Structure 1
Amino acid sequence: MYSIIIFTHVLSAILSIGPFFVLFPVLNRMKLQNSEALDSHLEVFQAAIRIVKHAGHVLVVSGILLMWRGNWPWTTSWVIMTIVVMVGSIVFLARAFKPNIRLYQNEMIDLDTLVLKLRRSVWMYIFLLLIMLWFMVAKPILW
């Protein structure tokens, strides 16, 4: 059972970061498209965010199961730091993408500003996920 949980955890980790790399070509095309094509690119962008969000749910549940079955104490430094970064990434994910897309749709920001903000947010989220991944794989003892 433990190996199935590990597989699920790794697969959900891949699904929680992988779609973001697909978004870079979408962001490049967004600048060059008419409004109809732009709407489809925004839908792809939002679908990728949904995949990441739901994969994150599986990641958290499988991580809790791994902690329970693996007998890791919750007070271990790498566990605490993973949780801290995870909470930060959840808050970041909630504020980084959908509000900016809404601002654009309400014509409060222009397309160039939207693409710039989305690109920056994608890179920041990837960075947060890579930090979290490092904590889970390297399991550093920080204190």
Structure 2
Amino acid sequence: MKWLVLIHIMSSIIGIGPTYFGHILFRKRQQVGELRRSLELFQILNFFPKIGGTIAVLSGLLLVWLGGWSFVTFWIIASLILYIAIQVVAVGLLGPITAKLQKELNSPKLSTEQEIPRESILLLAKANGLYYTASALGVILFILMIIKP
């Protein structure tokens, strides 16, 4: 059971941790080339929430089942809802925005040293807002895991 707890905690950190890098990657004061590179890094970092998050959910469900807890316990339900909300924000909402942003930035009209166009700045602001939302939900999720009964 201790190994399962360790796997659950580590996969949770690895799964949600990269969410906090989005604030650095999607900072406003970048040139086109820097933001292009940030979007490439974003795609690489997205690998971790997909794998780590899946392992965290599966190991968490296994812990509930083996630990004799009930799925009607508040912190378990709240944790699952928060995790699903993070996935919806990070994958469902943020993914299409970053894809559109990347498409705009890959325009041959833009040089790497050029300032980010206004349309792209608006998309960048939306992406940042979603990252802050996912980060806040992640903090709440970690708090629930720490103070659970």
The normalised TM-score by structure 1 is 0.82
Q: Which residue is equivalent to 1:74?
A: 71
**CA distance change for structure 1 residues 32 and 87 in 2, over 3 Å: closer, same or farther?**
closer
Runs of 4+ off more than 6 Å? none
| 2:139 is the alignment partner of 1:130 | yes
The match for 1:33 among 28, 31, 55 is: 31
RMSD of equivalent CA atoms: 2.2
**CA distance change for structure 1 residues 23 and 88 in 2, over 3 Å: closer, same or farther?**
closer
Taking only the aligned residue pairs, the percentage that are identical comes to 26
Q: Distance in 1 between matches of 2:15 and 2:31?
A: 27
The normalised TM-score by structure 2 is 0.79
Q: Distance in 2 between matches of 1:81 and 1:23?
A: 24
Superposed counterparts of 1:79-94, under 5 Å: 79-94=76-91
Asked whether the equivalents of residues 90 and 131 of structure 2 are also in contact (C-alpha less than 8 Å), the reply is: no
Asked whether the equivalents of residues 5 and 63 of structure 2 are also in contact (C-alpha less than 8 Å), the reply is: yes
Q: Which residue is equivalent to 2:121?
A: 112
Bigger drift between 10-19 and 82-91 goes to 82-91
Q: Which residue is equivalent to 1:11?
A: 10
Structure with higher RCO (Cα < 8 A, 6+ apart): 2
Q: Which residue is equivalent to 2:43?
A: 46
Q: Runs of 5+ in structure 2 lacking a partner?
A: 105-117
Instruction: Give the drift of 1:76.
Output: 1.1
Q: Distance in 2 between matches of 1:4 and 1:126?
A: 27
Q: Distance in 2 between matches of 1:26 and 1:94?
A: 16
Asked whether the equivalents of residues 24 and 119 of structure 1 are also in contact (C-alpha less than 8 Å), the reply is: yes
Q: Runs of 5+ in structure 1 lacking a partner?
A: none
